[in-house]
Structure 1
Amino acid sequence: MQTTLSPEFKGTAAGEEAEAILRKCVHCGFCTATCPTYQLLGDELDGPRGRIYLMKQVLEGAEPTRATQLHLDRCLTCRNCETTCPSGVQYGHLVDIGRQVVEAKVQRPAGERAVRWLLKEGLTSPLFKPAMQLGQLVRPLLPELLKDKVPERQPPRAHEWPQREHARKVLMLTGCVQPAMAPNINAATARVLDAAGIQAVVAPSAGCCGAIKTHLNDQAGGHEHMRRNIDAWWPMVSQGTAEAIVVNASGCSVTVKDYGHALRHDAAYAAKAAKVSALARDLSELLPELAPALAGKLREGGPRKVVFHPPCTLQHGQKVRGPVETGLSTLGFDVSLAATESHLCCGSAGTYSVLQPELSHQLRDRKLGHLQASGPDVIVSANIGCIQQLQSGTQTPVRHWVELVDEALG
């Protein structure tokens, strides 16, 4: 796609990156066929190709409007379009640039600004956990929209952490939202790794991966979270005592794998960020290796008919497909994908379900229709956002796959 940057962006790092991405686009429109919002709305400007044209116009000097902002807001950043694109257009990086440019030029209504500020500051705050616990106490009294975002309290096992030492060690990111909403996922991860002879080590000062602020157009805040995590992990990384940085929420692992790109212009952190990204592994990637070590330790009983919802951040953002299905099958679970549209987003997409509830619910209900068609005992996924999103629309249990393995280990 021929692009002529305006003087405002010519010669800037963001402008040059955007131009390189734009020039790869050949207008083919394959991306449109797999875009969730285009499927719902049928508007070219609510599909990747249309949004690319909008961003191109802004970067070439056109003045963005509120409508431009809304079309970019409605993008889930699911990156399904990247999987479909035959030209390798890095749409995820482009839309981050486009949103930041438009955000600087278009004033949002005060109410929107307030909600977005509360999300980026509140979800990443240490106060989020006690606020969530309070919400769980009064959950029956909450309006339905809020109740959807507050999971029921988990049993005490959620807090049990293995105490054994192992020669093999990995760093583990516990995250910001997940410890408050579903603490059992992190503890279950540590127990499963422990059963396979791997010790999960948590750096206390590590926290939010940086995704929440970055995707709400606070790139500076997101980068600060990235630097904090790198500093927290660096002692073990630099000494080579951690063989990997394991992340059990795919929305976080896709971000940690991108630290090298995000901080590539930071002289103090570029090399460290690249090293951290190279060590990052989504927990799902480890399952085929873990399964043989765990196979003889699983007990009978429990849910066995499982349908897996692969998060967009796993299958499109990280291009990781197959290890969960293969690993769970090796462990004796009857696991399948939805027969239709397993590639499409469930509508969670980080804070999207709060900011775009109508579209989010439509995508959730559409996804659940496909997932429940086979009558599974349980739906499993690999990302806290997807798990809570799907659970809010069904009585069928929705879990992280590692919780099923943990329970089978007893």
Structure 2
Amino acid sequence: MKTEFSLAQLADPDIREADKILRACVHCGFCTATCPTYVLLGDELDSPRGRIYLIKDMLENDRKPTQEVVKHIDRCLSCLACMTTCPSGVNYMHLVDQARVKVEDEYSRPLSERFLRGILAQVLPRPGLFRASMIAARLARPFAALLPALPQGQTTPTFFERLRAMLALAPGRLPPPGPSGGTVFPAEGRRRGRVALLQGCAQQVLSPGINQAAIRMLTRNGIEVVLVADEQCCGSLTHHMGRDRDALTRARANIEVWTNEIDRNGLDAILVTTSGCGTTIKDYGYMLREDAAFAAKAARISALAKDVTEYVAGIEIAWPQSKNDLVVAYHSACSLQHGQKITQLPKELLSKSGFVVKDVPESHLCCGSAGTYNILQPDIARRLRERKIANIASTKPDVISAGNIGCMVQIGSVESADGTSVPVVHTIELLDWATGGPRPDLLMGSMKGPHVGRA
């Protein structure tokens, strides 16, 4: 793609990077076939190629974002399926992230939308506030039907539509909190490694059992696990809302505490059980590339970051010798398959654990979760969820396995009319169960599965 940035514009490192990304695009349109919003809406401007044209025009002419441009950028899920498909290696992720920062800085959204986005940015990264908000949402959910419906013919979601979507996603109950930062879990037997485990923000409120399963499996196999004190949200949620100052502040804080832990006690890896967070942490090196004080440390942290399945695949595990007939539909989270290029590994680990693993048709298409997307774009998210659940149902599974809490909540929201009743559990919970850990809570009613661990 030909670009016409001035020399003065190219002095800005972000514009220089955008220019390189844009020039890599050859207009081939392969990305449209795998873009969820284009598949649903059929609008060229809701495809990666269309958004690239809008972003190019906005950046090249240094125009303030218009309502139309913002609409199409907001509709992007950042699922990154286009990057998997693109034969030219266009780094759409970095381009759309840059566009979102410009939108956040230069576009004035309606007051109600600014309010809701501000609440999400303040609450979701803070586990204490998030827990309180989930309790409040559960109490308010019976009144959701009283909220005004979307006016006839209107496609842009209103504040009330977004509020209704947020209430529908609130779980019926919250589990008790897990262990806090600063806790060290010693390896059983001879220590063969030492890792930090990201505590997360929403996940530690909604499903602390995920990290507890990871800790059990790792320590049982000779790996010491530390929950580093003073760790913050990874910054993913606010980063994808265009609030880069907040995201980079959080990234720097995490880099400092992890670097201190490495220098004091050593770490083989920084493990992540939420793939959306993992994709962002692996990108810290890029995000802070122009920060002289943090660039080297950020690159070091990104190199150490691993999805939990990546790390488990590299250590010696006593896999069960017997097979079982529990059918697992593996949902491949976008941030894992497109963001981190981890596709077969989780399925291989599940197969080694004795499960019958089924691929989900159209596995490249997003489930509609995408961080805060299922709140901010509820209609598109609902349609994607319905499509995903129908595809999962075609495999006739006993359980659904996923590697990202956002997907798990989106697919498993049984309070919503289009949610699934099939249990949705994290991949590490199944691996832990198969190798000696307890049966995941959501599977307590099932008698099928590994004859190991505690029922």
Q: Which structure 1 segments of 5+ residues have no match? A: none
The residue aligned with 1:151 is: 171
Letter matched to residue 342 of structure 1:
S
The residue aligned with 2:120 is: 119
The residue aligned with 2:85 is: 84
Deviation at 1:155, TM superposition (A): 5.8
The residue aligned with 1:401 is: 427
Deviation at 1:154, TM superposition (A): 5.8
Deviation at 1:142, TM superposition (A): 6.1
The residue aligned with 2:57 is: 57
Deviation at 1:313, TM superposition (A): 0.4
Normalised to the residue count of structure 1, the TM-score between the two structures is: 0.93
Deviation at 1:99, TM superposition (A): 1.9
| 1:327 correspondence with 2:349 | yes
SS in 2 for 1:375: coil
Cα gap change, 1:171/1:293 in structure 2, threshold over 3 Å: closer, same or farther? same
Comparing 71-80 with 199-208, greater Cα deviation is found at 199-208
Decide whether the 8 Å contact of 1:128 with 1:180 is kept in 2: no
Comparing 54-63 with 66-75, greater Cα deviation is found at 54-63
Letter matched to residue 430 of structure 2:
L
Q: Distance in 2 between matches of 1:278 and 1:92?
A: 19
Instruction: Please list the CA deviations of residues 279-334 of structure 1 after superposition, one character each: whole Å capped at 9, or x if unmatched.
Output: 000112123335x51314x9987x82100001110000111111110011011011
Decide whether the 8 Å contact of 1:391 with 1:397 is kept in 2: yes
Q: RMSD of aligned C-alpha atoms? A: 2.3
| 1:384 correspondence with 2:413 | no
SS in 1 for 2:309: helix
| 1:337 correspondence with 2:363 | no
Decide whether the 8 Å contact of 1:288 with 1:327 is kept in 2: yes
Decide whether the 8 Å contact of 2:79 with 2:335 is kept in 1: yes
Alignment of 1:196-235 (within 5 A): 196-235=221-260
Instruction: Please list the CA deviations of residues 216-268 of structure 1 after superposition, one character each: whole Å capped at 9, or x if unmatched.
Output: 11101100100111111112323572100000100000111000000111111
- What is the aligned residue count? 406
Instruction: Please list the CA deviations of residues 144-165 of structure 1 after superposition, one character each: whole Å capped at 9, or x if unmatched.
Output: 6344322243666966999534
The residue aligned with 1:29 is: 29
Decide whether the 8 Å contact of 2:349 with 2:431 is kept in 1: no
The correspondence for 1:294, drawn from 312, 318, 321, is 318
The residue aligned with 1:358 is: 379
SS in 1 for 2:314: helix
Cα gap change, 1:139/1:189 in structure 2, threshold over 3 Å: closer, same or farther? farther
Decide whether the 8 Å contact of 1:209 with 1:252 is kept in 2: yes
SS in 2 for 1:23: helix
Decide whether the 8 Å contact of 1:237 with 1:276 is kept in 2: no
Deviation at 1:359, TM superposition (A): 0.2
Q: Distance in 1 between matches of 2:33 and 2:364?
A: 12
The residue aligned with 1:279 is: 304
Decide whether the 8 Å contact of 2:127 with 2:205 is kept in 1: no
Decide whether the 8 Å contact of 1:172 with 1:201 is kept in 2: yes
The residue aligned with 2:213 is: 188
The runs of at least 4 aligned residues of structure 1 exceeding 4 Å deviation read 154-163, 298-301
Decide whether the 8 Å contact of 2:400 with 2:423 is kept in 1: yes
Letter matched to residue 342 of structure 2:
V
Instruction: Please list the CA deviations of residues 145-191 of structure 1 after superposition, one character each: whole Å capped at 9, or x if unmatched.
Output: 34432224366696699953435210110111110111111111111
The residue aligned with 2:135 is: 134
Letter matched to residue 236 of structure 1:
E
Letter matched to residue 368 of structure 1:
I
Decide whether the 8 Å contact of 2:251 with 2:284 is kept in 1: yes
The residue aligned with 2:71 is: 70
Q: Distance in 2 between matches of 1:158 and 1:208?
A: 16
Cα gap change, 1:379/1:132 in structure 2, threshold over 3 Å: closer, same or farther? farther
SS in 1 for 2:233: coil
Normalised to the residue count of structure 2, the TM-score between the two structures is: 0.84
Letter matched to residue 380 of structure 1:
S
Decide whether the 8 Å contact of 1:172 with 1:247 is kept in 2: yes
Cα gap change, 1:239/1:167 in structure 2, threshold over 3 Å: closer, same or farther? farther
SS in 1 for 2:9: coil
The correspondence for 1:346, drawn from 358, 367, 380, is 367
| 1:104 correspondence with 2:129 | no
Deviation at 1:84, TM superposition (A): 0.4
Letter matched to residue 16 of structure 2:
E
Q: Distance in 1 between matches of 2:138 and 2:50?
A: 45
Decide whether the 8 Å contact of 2:196 with 2:267 is kept in 1: yes
Q: Distance in 2 between matches of 1:271 and 1:345?
A: 33
The residue aligned with 2:149 is: none
| 1:40 correspondence with 2:40 | yes
Instruction: Please list the CA deviations of residues 340-378 of structure 1 after superposition, one character each: whole Å capped at 9, or x if unmatched.
Output: 201110000000011000000100110110111121011
Deviation at 1:204, TM superposition (A): 1.9
